[in-house]
Each structure stands twice: as C-alpha cells, then as structure tokens.
Structure 1
Amino acid sequence: MKYVKLFSFILVLLLAAGCSNSANETEHKIFVSAAASLSGPLNEIVDEFQKKYPDTVVTLHFGASGKLAQQIQQGAPVDVFLSADERRMDILAEQNMILADTRTIFTKNKLVLITNKNSDVSVESLEALSSTNLTQITVGNPESVPAGTYAKQALQNVGVWNELKGNFVFAKDARQVLTYVESGNTNLGFVYVSDLKRSDLVRGILEVDADLYEPIVYPAAVISTSENTEQAKTFISFLKSDQAQSILSNAGFGS
C-alpha cells in the first residue's frame, strides 16, 4: 500500500512538472514538501518568491512531517523539506538524505488547546482535563504529526496522557485537528497558535506552557538527491528574508 501511495505522489509531481511547448528552456522547477501547518503562509511566500525569481517554479506538497519524511526515504523526487520538528529532519540527516550545510531553522510556533467558537467549554489547566466530562479530544497522531508529539509530551509531563487515552481522536495532520473542532465533531483539540489565524470557527482556551514540550521549530533543508540544488538553496534563503518572515509573523508564526 505504501508503494501505491508513493507512486500516486510521484505521479502528481510528474504531472506538475510536465513541460509545455511555451516553457522557457531556462526554467527550473523545485518540489517542496512542507508541514501542513505551513500551508497558509507558504503559498503566499511562494507567490513572492516567484516574483523575484520568475525562472524558478515551485510546486508545494503538504502533509504531516512524518509522512513526508517517509516519502522522501522511499524516493519521492523532492528538492526541499520543511518539517514542523527537528526529529523528522534528524531521521533524514542520519541517512545522509539532506545536505547538512543547508539545514536551518526558519520559524517557530507554540501549542494551544482550542474548542469550537460556539462552545462554552473552559479549561484552566492540562491537569484539569482528566476531571472534565469532555469525551473527545483531537490530537495529531504522535507517530507522524509533530503537533501531536508536542501535545503528548505536554500531557505526559503533567501526568494525564495515560488517563486520557480513551478520549483521544487521532488526526492525520494539524489541519485535520482544526477541521474536527471547527465542525464540532470533537470538543477540544491541540493545534499551533498559528492555526488560530486560519479559522474563525474556533477559539483558543489554553496556551500550553512551553516548558512542557520541546521547542517547536521548523527546520528546512535541501534533499541530497535534488537536481536543482542552487534553486533549492535560494528558496531556503528566501524563507529567512524579511519579506518571508513578515508573512510568517502575520500568520502567527515566530517567537
């Protein structure tokens, strides 16, 4: 099954890379696999990047960082990987699948507990979750979704993870967590502070103490098999430019 998914992913990239008769012969294409939580600002950043570098076309593919890392391990033709944590990037680095000198952190985030905007639910602490009557809490799958990993760390550190196990609804990425809470299908969800900027249908009820989980940082790196290394490096440099950082800040990212 994983090979079928990989084939589908590669097919999408190949179709996106199809050459038209009018294509500029000097045009370069780079494929960027990025954490789902970046989808809002990254689309805007790419628009600005291509205004400055019109000869480089960027194709974005979003998903859970763990799944994206697996696709790269399986040979997906990716030029740049933008992860929502260091762990998934470390895995690729250990296998020499990234160019070490291109690895850099380009933004940060924080974890927040949310509920539907029409809900009157209030939670004063993570410890209080174990004594509420709420039966459904959406969490990104900790095995593949960094937001879920951070949430698990926080809940373990206050001693309620095991107690709440039966209440969790696991999601495939941070965006799905948001969708579940927006729709009212679940009572609560753990997302990034930046996700609050993406939806008017939810509200934050508790910003999780940052001391309870590893720092949420977003590393970028060029994949070692990239055939467009210079363009990929240029894209990563642009991510750290004032222009791109302003877009990220407006979307709720950063310190």
Structure 2
Amino acid sequence: MTKLLTGLLLALAALGARAGEITVSAAASLTNAFKELARVYETGHPGTHVQLNFGASGALLQQIVKGAPVDVFASADQETMNNAVQQKLVRAAERRDFARNRLVVVVPADAKAPPPSLAALAQPQVKRIAMGLPASVPAGRYARRALNDAGLWQAVAPKIIGTQNVRQALDYVARGEVDAGFVYATDAALMPQDVRTAFEVPLHEPVTYPIAPLAASASTEARAFVAYVLSAPAQAILARYGFAQP
C-alpha cells in the first residue's frame, strides 16, 4: 500500500511539473519576438517555463516527426503546417494564423549599387546570393517560386549559396560574404547598421505564420500559449518586431 501511495504521489508530482513546462518550436525568423513573448507569458503564469527551440520550419517538423518532445509548433509558412496536419501531428481545427511578413532582398550596408529588382540578380555583377534551402526553409521556397515566376531561376540558381535558415542568410549578407540575400523584412530590420533592403520580392501568396499545439502534447499549457500568441498584448509585441496581423 505504501509503495502504491508513493508511486501515485510521484506520478502526480511529475504531472504537476509537466503542467508548468512547455516546449515551443518556432521558425528562426520568430526568434527575437518569441523570446519576448515567452518572458511575458512566464511573468503572467508564475511557475511556468517556456523552452524555445528555433530553426528552419521544415527542420523543426522533421524533429517532431522523429519524436522530439514539442508542445507547440509555429511555422513560417502554410505548407509546413499542412504537412504537420497530414501526418496527424497537429489537428487542423486547432491551427491558427497569427502573423504576416514580407520577403525582401538585402545587401551589405556599404553596397555601392544594390540590385533594384529580381531581374538584376541575374546580372554578372551579382555573384553570390544567400538563400535558405528550399527543401526545409520557407523563405527559400518563397524566393525560388518568385524567381521561377519571373523566369529567372535558371540564371540565378548557380549563384545561390544555400543556408540552413533565414537568419544564416542574413548573417552572410551582414558579414559581406555574399552580394545579396533573401530574408524577411523583420530580419532585415534587426541589422540596420549591417544590411539594407534593396527591394521587396513580389509574391503571389502572402507570407503567413500558423501556430498549433501538438496533438500528442500532454502539457496543459500548450493551448494556453497558443491563445496568448493570438491575444492583443502578444500581437502588439509581434508588431514591434515588424510582424503584421494575418
């Protein structure tokens, strides 16, 4: 009887600890905004700890597929979240769009003649272009589609330097290792001393960010955190980092 009671108490203690923890996997472009969101959420929910995991949306999804203990997933595109739904990792009814962004081309701050358009990226003076790997990085997929739509992919593809996420593309431009890079407007705004925006990339689809609790999550905080991200105070924080409402 004593062993049974001890086991029950340990189980309840573990459940209580789990209730106060949440792991959020979020797209790399959300890094700064979600760090602040997590701090504010923890302040309003004493005893709760938000563990953040950032990376390319596709890479994060693969981590979840392989069993990573994630409670909430925030993607930088709809396609990745669609894949999560198809694999029954999240429930379609629980996904929500919470932010919108813009894709831009940035150049080093001291660039003498930044390209004014996608067509200019095909010119000989532009030799190296940083872009997230389309297979796993939504910004890379948006960029490739834009170049395909403009009939420029074949001319620009040999110049592409693939990156693991959009922040790596930003870093390459900031360090002057490439002539240009595809990033989000919110990323470009983080380094005004090191990069400048050359132009906004024309897209046929908006850059929207969906969020959802994981179907397998046992955390009682998962849905509460998603609701918080959709709330007016959280939206105000996202707006300060340059994100628009969806």
Fold shared by both chains (TM-score > 0.5): yes
Moved over 4 A (4+): 24-27
| Counterpart in the other structure of 2:227 | 237
1:66 maps onto 2:58 in alignment: yes
Superposed CA offset, 1:144-189 (max 9, x none):
0000010111111111011111100000000000000000000100
Q: What amino acid maps onto 2:215 in structure 1?
A: S
SS of the counterpart of 2:221?
helix
1:77 maps onto 2:69 in alignment: yes
Residues in 1 aligned to 2:92 and 2:129: alpha-carbon distance in whole angstroms = 38
1:181 maps onto 2:207 in alignment: no
Say how many residue pairs are matched.
Answer: 230
Assess, with a 3 A threshold, how the Cα gap between structure 1 residues 26 and 145 changes in structure 2: closer, same or farther.
closer
| Cα RMSD after superposing both structures | 1.6
| Counterpart in the other structure of 1:20 | none
Contact 2:129 2:178 in 1 (8 A): yes
Q: Give structure 2 stretches of 5+ with no counterpart.
A: 1-15
| Counterpart in the other structure of 2:212 | 221
Q: Normalization by structure 2: what TM-score?
A: 0.90
Assess, with a 3 A threshold, how the Cα gap between structure 1 residues 223 and 196 changes in structure 2: closer, same or farther.
same
Assess, with a 3 A threshold, how the Cα gap between structure 1 residues 52 and 81 changes in structure 2: closer, same or farther.
same
Q: Residue 234 of structure 1: CA displacement?
A: 0.6
Residues in 2 aligned to 1:177 and 1:214: alpha-carbon distance in whole angstroms = 22
Q: Give structure 1 stretches of 5+ with no counterpart.
A: 1-23
Contact 2:24 2:71 in 1 (8 A): yes
| Counterpart in the other structure of 2:89 | 97
Contact 2:56 2:166 in 1 (8 A): yes
1:72-221 aligned within 5 A = 72-200=64-192, 201-209=194-202, 212-221=203-212
Contact 1:98 1:221 in 2 (8 A): yes
SS of the counterpart of 1:128?
helix
Q: Percent identity?
A: 39
1:38 maps onto 2:49 in alignment: no
Q: Residue 25 of structure 1: CA displacement?
A: 5.4
Residues in 2 aligned to 1:71 and 1:25: alpha-carbon distance in whole angstroms = 23
